[in-house]
Structure 1
């Protein structure tokens, strides 16, 4: 009985000592720190599994934001109007046709 207790305590101690993944740097912090972004981008290219999917996804999103900016086009307020809808509405309604 005592052995079972000791073994279970050892198992609990080993489970408590399990390595936790390092915290993931946010996209905003990576956009603000281009040197760290470059380091992590190279680390993701070298060993994606070691860095982890979540961190590499944040790195790729930060790279995209730095390259594309906010995503707003300088031409977003372009005064060009969209084309008019098709002329199907200009046909006379069937109820106004002359009756014989």
Structure 2
């Protein structure tokens, strides 16, 4: 009985490994080199890439390009040339 419990405990512990960290939009914005790597893997249609990771890379690229600042509002008076 002890051997079975010990074996079961060992199997449960071995199954509890670290999961691969997923890239979030914020982490990809903070690390552009990692963003390029993820984008390249998504472009190569890597079967191991999760669609969520490719979507996060796309959103991170959008945030880097467009920014999160205020939207442009034209002046009330047109410029005089």
Coarse TM-score class (shorter-chain normalised): 0.5 to 0.7
List gaps (5 residues or longer) in structure 1: 81-100
1:38 matches 2:31: no
Residue matched to 1:12: 9
Distance 1:14 1:60 in 2: 39
- Matched residue pairs, number? 75
Between 35-44 and 62-71, report the one with greater CA deviation.
Answer: 62-71
Q: Normalising by the residue count of structure 2, what TM-score does the alignment of the two structures yield? A: 0.62
Q: Normalising by the residue count of structure 1, what TM-score does the alignment of the two structures yield? A: 0.52
Q: CA deviation at 1:79?
A: 3.5
Which has the higher Rg, Structure 1 or Structure 2? 1
User: Does 1 or 2 have the higher relative contact order (CA < 8 Å, sep 6+)?
Assistant: 2
Superposed, 1:80-99 pairs within 5 Å as: none
Q: CA deviation at 1:55?
A: 3.0
Residue matched to 2:21: 23
List gaps (5 residues or longer) in structure 2: none
Distance 1:68 1:57 in 2: 16
